[in-house]
Structure 1
Amino acid sequence: MIDSKDMQVIGLCRFSYPALGGFQVEHDTIEDRIAFLYQEDRLEERFQLMETVALPCLKAQTDQNFEMILLIGDTLTKRHVERLHDLTTDIPQITIVAHPPEPHRPLMKKLLNGARKDPKAPCLQFRHDDDDAISVDFFERLRAAAEDVAPLLPQHRTVAFDWNRGYIAEMSSAGIAAADTVRNLYVASLGMYVRGGCDLTIMNFRHGIMNQFMPTLSFTDTPMWVRTHNGYNDSRQKKVKPVPVTPLTGEEAAQFKSRFAIDADQVRTVFA
């Protein structure tokens, strides 16, 4: 019987990494992509979102037994690299890794497989976007879900776990505006079991269609993620239908702080 408490939990987050491929918005050359990703106003927004949204929820996890690779480009300027190290210094689970531009999926798979302490043992994997938040009990719930379906796991190379209730949110100097929603197979709060001896990773699959390749369990009982809409969402650079959001009520602001470690006062200060 598989014991989820012993499973290694490994994740990957890309911070403005100039991959070859992997973006919905295309660029003619890798130089054009780097210039786009490293625009000062874009990077400032990414840092603001990392500081207020993507990192606090990791620091506050009820289960601290996880590891995350934070991937950056090897040409990211020194002051930005130092700023990133400063923001993550109190989250020892994060390892910052710098790489030159490489084909997107092969590199992501190599990094995740390289992080496995024992490739013959099963593990749990996740992805984390630098502008999204997961609930503070995500890893606790991921392990519990794997435990609940333990007899199912050895029969499959991979199994997905999808918490599909959350918030679309916009951050600004005015605070937080959001809309609660249910969306299947978002990146945030999506986990995957990988059988021992299998070299598939969560980055082998487009997140939105993972259920076409493996058994997928969905949970809708409580909000588990915050996805921010901002000036540089890759998936929203093309014409898409806007999502109407409204300022958080006092009760919702309290929930954002307790469920996601997102502090509305900090958001107002950082985005001012």
Structure 2
Amino acid sequence: MQVIGFCRFSYPAEGGFQVEHGSIRDRMAYLYAPARMEERLRHFECICLPGLKGQTDPDFTFLILVGDSLPDAYLDRLRALLADFPQARIVARPPGPHRQVCQEVINAARDMDTPCLEFRHDDDDAVAVTFVETLRAAARDCTALTAAHRLVGFDWNRGFVARPDAKGLRAEPNVTPYWGVAQAVAVQPRVRQTVMNFGHNKINQFMPTVTFTDPPMFVRGHNDHNDSRQKKHVKAVDLPRLDAAGEAEMRRLFAIDADQIRTVFA
């Protein structure tokens, strides 16, 4: 079964953000601000990509949606980070309606005559190195359910919240359902709706879903430029510093290397 992952990397969509902007030009200025872009690229390199590059089942496509206005300097750095990731494909699009553009990009990469497993992924989050393998196994276990419904959601709700910095990684365990990371949708042939047509925390309102609590399957990145952290009255989260054993667990589960983090964030 085809597996497609989808990531928006600072794409200036019309809608799709919790924080509103007065115009697309204002949104681009916010998204492409140097301090923000530096942080996004660091998180993308150290948190997002290692687990995807290290998947035990490498048979998947990972689409990265960017704006056609993304400055060349950042586009070049993005390409360099993906040079050893053959499953990755950068797709550039002009600004447009968020859900419509995401749907078009995903469906353009699909074989529409066969079923597909689609997962959404933020550029500062991680999935376990076993995620694609585990997702395929879950879909096989639920064959009768996926055959009976146009769309079926899969959600792994156990993982970690983590914040990288120059000293390594702060993180703690977390269980949150429908958080949008380590979440996928099984899509039947010729169904044009995609994982991105639904709010991640509302998919159980539109389709049957199957949830899994074990094993840990995600890292939710925590940083100053999370879209959800731009609103007023959002409190800082005090995460504990990982010791050597915790760093080893992150490396084993997600291929996240604390030594690389210390180097990149120094």
Mapping of residues 1-272 of structure 1, within 5 Å? 7-117=1-111, 119-238=112-231, 239-272=233-266
Distance across 1 between alignment mates of 2:257 and 2:144: 40
CA contact (8 A) 1:186 1:208 kept: yes
Deviation per CA, 1:70-95: give whole Å up to 9, x if none. Answer: 11111111111111000001101111
Deviation per CA, 1:48-85: give whole Å up to 9, x if none. Answer: 00110111111100000000111111111111111100
> C-alpha displacement at 1:241, in angstroms?
4.1
Distance across 1 between alignment mates of 2:196 and 2:181: 14
Provide the aligned C-alpha RMSD in A. 0.9
Letter in 1 for 2:59: N
> C-alpha displacement at 1:240, in angstroms?
2.7
Distance across 1 between alignment mates of 2:180 and 2:87: 19
1:91 match: secondary structure: coil
1:106 match: secondary structure: helix
Q: Percent identity?
A: 52
CA contact (8 A) 1:132 1:228 kept: yes
2:144 match: secondary structure: coil
User: Unpaired segments of 5 or more residues in structure 1?
Assistant: 1-6
Distance across 2 between alignment mates of 1:252 and 1:212: 36
CA contact (8 A) 1:179 1:244 kept: no
> C-alpha displacement at 1:236, in angstroms?
1.3
Deviation per CA, 1:113-151: give whole Å up to 9, x if none. Answer: 11112x121110001100000000000000000011111
Letter in 1 for 2:185: M
Residues 241 and 216 (structure 1 numbering): CA distance in 2 closer, same or farther, change over 3 Å?
farther
Distance across 1 between alignment mates of 2:235 and 2:72: 38
> C-alpha displacement at 1:173, in angstroms?
0.3
Distance across 2 between alignment mates of 1:152 and 1:209: 19
1:161 match: secondary structure: strand
User: Unpaired segments of 5 or more residues in structure 2?
Assistant: none
Distance across 2 between alignment mates of 1:248 and 1:40: 29
2:76 match: secondary structure: helix
Distance across 1 between alignment mates of 2:64 and 2:245: 33
